Amino acid sequence: MPDYIPKPEHKFTFGLWTVGNVGRDPFGHPTREPLAPEYIVYKLAELGAWGVNLHDNDLIPINATVAERKKILSRFKKALSDSGLVVPMATTNLFGDPVFKDGAFTNANAKIRAYAIHKTMHAMDLGAELGAKIYVFWGGREGAEVDAGMNTLDALAYYREALNFLAEYSESQGYGYRFALEPKPNEPRGDIYLPVVGAALGFIATLDKPHLFGLNPEVAHEMMAGLNFVHAVAQAIDAGKLFHIDLNDQKMGRFDQDLRFGAENLKLAFLLVKLLEDSKYDGPRHFDAHALRTEDEAGVWEFARGCMRTYLILREKARQFNQDKEIQALIKAYKVQDAELSKLTKKFSKKNAEALKAKKFNRVALGERGPGLEKLDQLTVELLLGER
Ligand code: XLS
Ligand code: MG
Ligand code: MG
């Protein structure tokens, strides 16, 4: 019987802003006291996490002096080295301060765009100093409520300019970052640019150094857009662009709920874990979620434990699924093979095309066959319910 105890080798990570979330929402004040970054580091290590991620201002306040920065950083580094926790990913807060109220890289104001790049270079320095190799760009305020300013085409050009600039900066400093774009359809903006995984993939192809850019898809974000997250992740994997992943949960189509991983859509969470494990994704399993606003600090750590435990249980379920003879036989029957036809369709040649055109197909019989998906799905549900 597996013990489901999280260990660093599982590569579980949390953001300072996730377990550190104080329970503020648009209608209510914080319900929890802030937790010191070092305290979070020790607690996460105790729970078996591998790493902690941060926005620049999760650690260093935006108005900190050089001396304050130094002091904070040395305390934080000590906590990291005492606990063994790593910082695999860093990012920039380009959304909290009023200066970014109408966007950062995509702001219509050139002074604010320049400030956003300036702030990001400093944040990249910070991340590199802490050992981060993945740099996330979530376009929190990169969007609009009013399109009458006709900023969208400009915004995309400015976005591209900023990302190209920052990729060069990383290379010139020898930081070795891989950049992960994190799409989200809305919130905090009415509409955010590059709203879903597919949009970000398309945009990456227009950058100067597309090989440095990939995706950081988040469960809740695709679901807010009403999309199938497993499909989105599969597309990112297929493109060789799954650089990082934000795991959480969400009721379809609602505001950004950031629920505990697996709290709401168990089958989706299972298929996602199976996809990540089967495709040998070896990046961090980052939980970008937070405890419910109702919870006190004990609830925060229950939340963190729960995210990791659910992942490990689902990983074990995926292993069972792959070994379940009946399920595997159904999948085999579902994926009908035909070596002769596949040879013809694999690659175009005049000869293959002619041969294929000359083939006779029994369309009616092909259309009559039921692929057996009801049974396959039911057995999947039963496996998840612990009945197999
Ligand atoms: C917000 C985003 C944010 C990013 C990091 O919805 O998920 O937390 O992951 O800036
Ligand atoms: Mg989010
Ligand atoms: Mg996120």
Long-range residue pairs from 322-327, CB within 8 A, at least 24 positions apart, any chain: 322/278, 324/379, 324/383, 324/388, 326/379, 327/376, 327/379, 327/380, 327/383
Question: What's the whole-number mean pLDDT along residues 165-173?
Answer: 98
Active site residues: 55, 58
The number of the ligand nearest the C-alpha atom of 188 reads 1
Nearest CA to ligand 1 atom 8: 288
Share of the chain above pLDDT 70, in %: 100
Nearest CA to ligand 1 atom 4: 138
Q: What are phi and psi of 93, to 5 degrees?
A: -85, 100
Nearest CA to ligand 1 atom 6: 256
Q: What is the mean pLDDT of the chain?
A: 98
CB of residue 246 inside a 6 A radius of ligand 1: yes
Nearest CA to ligand 1 atom 10: 138
CB of residue 91 inside a 6 A radius of ligand 1: yes
CB of residue 14 inside a 6 A radius of ligand 1: no
Q: Residue 380: is its pLDDT beyond 90?
A: yes
Ligand 1 atom with least separation from CA of 221 = 6
> What predicted TM-score, i.e. pTM, was given to this entire model?
0.97
What Å distances lie between residue 56 and 13, 169, 238, CA to CA?
A: 17, 17, 31
Question: Residue 226: what residue type?
Answer: G
CB of residue 184 inside a 6 A radius of ligand 1: yes
> How far is Cα 33 from Cα 269, in angstroms, rounded to an integer?
31
pLDDT of residue 150: 83
Question: What's the whole-number mean pLDDT along residues 176-184?
Answer: 99
Question: What's the whole-number mean pLDDT along residues 180-193?
Answer: 98
CB of residue 264 inside a 6 A radius of ligand 1: no
Do residues 136 and 91 touch, judged by C-beta distance below 8 A? yes
pLDDT tens string 148-161: 998 899 999 999 99
Ligand 1 atom with least separation from CA of 187 = 6
Question: What's the whole-number mean pLDDT along residues 359-370?
Answer: 97
Do residues 54 and 16 touch, judged by C-beta distance below 8 A? yes
Question: What's the whole-number mean pLDDT along residues 211-239?
Answer: 98
The residues near 28 (Cβ < 8 Å, ≥ 6 apart) are: 293
Question: What's the whole-number mean pLDDT along residues 243-261?
Answer: 97
pLDDT tens string 38-94: 999 999 999 999 999 999 999 999 999 999 999 999 999 999 999 999 999 999 999
CB of residue 182 inside a 6 A radius of ligand 1: yes
> How far is Cα 58 from Cα 42, in angstroms, rounded to an integer?
16
Residue of 218, 245, 247 to mutate, ligand 1, most atoms within 8 A of C-beta: 218
Instruction: State yes or no: cis peptide before 195, omega within 30 of 0.
Output: no
pLDDT tens string 3-50: 999 999 999 999 999 999 999 999 999 999 999 999 999 999 999 999
